[in-house]
Amino acid sequence: MSTPKYLECNLCGHQQPYEPFIPAVCNQCESQWFEARYDYDAFKREILRGLPNRPSNMWRYQDILPLNNAAALDLYPAGGTPLWLSHRFAPDLGHGSVFIKDERYGPTSSFKDRQAAGAVAAMLENGIKEAVIASTGNAAVAYAAACARAGIKLWVFMTSLVPQEKLREAALFGAEVIRVSGNYDQTKQIAAQFAQRRNLLLDRGAASIPAREAMKTIAYEIVEQMGWHAPDWYIQAVSGGLGPLGVYSGFKELFDMGLINKIPKLAIIQAAGCAPMVNAFKAGKDVADAIIPETSIIILSTGDPGKMYTYLWKLTQQFGGVMESVTDAEAFNAMRNLAKSEGMAVEPATAVAFAGTEKLIRNGTIKADEKVVVNCTGHTFPVEKHVLGDQWAVDVHLSKDQSPAPREGLLAALENLDEKTTTVLLVDDNSDDALLIRRLLEGRKAYRVYHAKDGWEGLAMARQKLPDLIVSDLTMPGMDGFGLVEELKLDPRTKNIPVVVVSAKDITEAERKRLNGHIQAVYQKGSLPTRKFVDQMIHVIEESGDVQEREHVA
């Protein structure tokens, strides 16, 4: 058992119980900066024993992660990434002690795999079946992969400026991708309202205890890999700031347990076109002003860091550190230098950290005798574009120039999005019948319609897509409609999806009894004109939505 004993406010010291997925706000000072507290004495004894029989990934440190019984879960294997000593990149700058924490070795080649693993494990443990996330890229892909393994349906909201390869990669893992033509802060806003309207869990990034706690395993690995010693500097490129905030929880825990004798200085690096934290730091302010991003490195385009900056600023004041920015051109140059000197291909967001390292070494901020760890946050590879069909994303248009959308525009977009994200699954071995229904449906409403050619394919698609309505033929080769309905009702994820069945033959009384209580309606092919049948399907969808709304209100 490793559920936190309590949460402790980092500003006033107030203690209160930990509740998963409920945004933690201090009952005394209303801060949202909490540290989870565990049984550190017991964990230290395990560390001193050498952590016997532990996996070589982030679950090695499960004693200080917020899960009741991690051993009982089939956990996503993130973490356990190597720590390399730079042989040419840093020595060429006159520095011989720069280490690279290579997070490219995660399941989706990003340090966000840790965040996703921690958050999705907590979802799994708490019975969450469907969730929403807003992301600038890597987190979406990591969550999509982790949710695929856990059997959780994921809605991913990303700005349309995110490279298409990352959007497609999230879709490849089965996530429902919503592409927003607005900036990242607008994307977060519409994701939050979508989750609220559908009564779904919204992953809150840095405000999520499981997500943030997962990041501290980076600190534990670094210290263990350096022989239970801490570096002098920890360097990371940031957008919203979740990563280093979580990492420093780990360094502080290790220090408090007496396992390291210092906490590293923190270097936060941002792209110059989106550097609200750096601007505030250099102005000597503890609050950052929001800006409109102007960088081609979209993954780092959080224009409003909110309180995350203040929390990170306090870390630099407490333990030492700096915030610095680099231009896109400097980042791209560092990317080339790293590839040529260390044989490491990284994405532009990662290259920002290395460009910042170059800058801090050259200007003397980092001394020649100091040990430095740079977080190589990741490199995600493009997926094969032809794997996916033409319905892998839904577009939502808020603004053309990244300016804030008016409230009425946001509401209109949400209403349109409700329609666009309504899905219908047709299960019919007669492709002509399915095509006719599909065209009529799509002509009436902006629904997304999927077609499965038999019961087995229909069952697999139902489990992955969790559609709003399933229309199935009864007589099909292999698994027929009766078997499909029975399998759907046995699965907790699909048992509440309304099912309409159609049959080309008369249905016997025994067959009706077999279907009774499991389906919404039954029709005989030809008993209704196709257009009227489609109207009935739309009525079932809308009636089902009204019932869900009433349940949510109740």
DSSP 170-223: HHHTT-EEEEEES-HHHHHHHHHHHHHHHT-EEP-GGG-HHHHHHHTHHHHHHH
Beta-carbon contacts of 340 under 8 Å, excluding residues fewer than 6 positions away, are none
Residues 399 and 448 in one domain: no
Least confident of 49-63, 101-115, 462-476: 462-476
From 413, 445, 468, the end of a domain falls on 413
Q: For residue 553, is pLDDT > 50?
A: no
pLDDT of residue 540: 76
DSSP conformation class of 528: S
Residues 407 and 490 in one domain: no
Q: How many CB atoms lie within 10 A of CB 430?
A: 14
Phi, psi angle pair for 41, to nearest 5°: -60, -45
Domain range enclosing 488: 422-553
Residues 516 and 473 in one domain: yes
User: Is-contact 503 522, C-beta < 8 A?
Assistant: yes
Q: Sorting pLDDT into bands at 50, 70 and 90, what band is 87?
A: very high
pLDDT of residue 171: 87
Residues 484 and 544 in one domain: yes
Q: Sorting pLDDT into bands at 50, 70 and 90, what band is 410?
A: low
Residues 507 and 534 in one domain: yes
Let me know if residue 383 belongs to a domain.
Answer: no
pLDDT of residue 383: 43
DSSP conformation class of 467: -
pTM: 0.78
Let me know if residue 201 belongs to a domain.
Answer: yes
Beta-carbon contacts of 492 under 8 Å, excluding residues fewer than 6 positions away, are 129
Let me know if residue 119 belongs to a domain.
Answer: yes
Q: How many domains does the chain have?
A: 2
Structure tokens at 373: 């760890």
Q: For residue 551, is pLDDT > 50?
A: no
Residues 429 and 519 in one domain: yes
Structure tokens at 205: 């990034």
Residues 446 and 509 in one domain: yes
Short-list 131, 155, 75, CA closest to 107 = 75
Report the Cα 308 to chain-centroid distance in Å: 18
What is the average pLDDT across 411-436?
A: 77
Q: Please give the residue that has the higher pLDDT: either 529 or 430.
A: 430
Let me know if residue 77 belongs to a domain.
Answer: no
Q: For residue 386, is pLDDT > 60?
A: no
Q: Rounded to an integer, what distance in angstroms lies between the CA atom of residue 314 and that of residue 325?
A: 19
For residue range 468-521, what is the model confidence (pLDDT) as tens digits? Answer: 889 888 888 888 888 898 899 888 888 888 888 887 777 777 877 788 777 777
For residue range 106-148, what is the model confidence (pLDDT) as tens digits? Answer: 999 999 999 999 999 999 999 999 999 998 788 999 999 999 9
Q: How much of the chain exceeds pLDDT 70, in percent?
A: 89
For residue range 301-319, what is the model confidence (pLDDT) as tens digits? Answer: 888 998 899 999 999 999 9
Let me know if residue 88 belongs to a domain.
Answer: no
Q: What is the domain-level CATH number for residue 484?
A: 3.40.50.2300
Residues 394 and 512 in one domain: no
Q: Rounded to an integer, what distance in angstroms lies between the CA atom of residue 47 and that of residue 52?
A: 9
Residues 402 and 435 in one domain: no
Let me know if residue 134 belongs to a domain.
Answer: yes
Q: Sorting pLDDT into bands at 50, 70 and 90, what band is 366?
A: very high
Q: Sorting pLDDT into bands at 50, 70 and 90, what band is 403?
A: low
Residues 405 and 451 in one domain: no
Residues 403 and 465 in one domain: no
Short-list 286, 268, 287, CA closest to 365 = 268
Average pLDDT, the chain: 86
What is the average pLDDT across 267-288?
A: 96
Q: How many CB atoms lie within 10 A of CB 520?
A: 18
Q: What is the domain-level CATH number for residue 177?
A: 3.40.50.1100
Q: Please give the residue that has the higher pLDDT: either 510 or 320.
A: 320
Residues 471 and 489 in one domain: yes
Let me know if residue 472 belongs to a domain.
Answer: yes
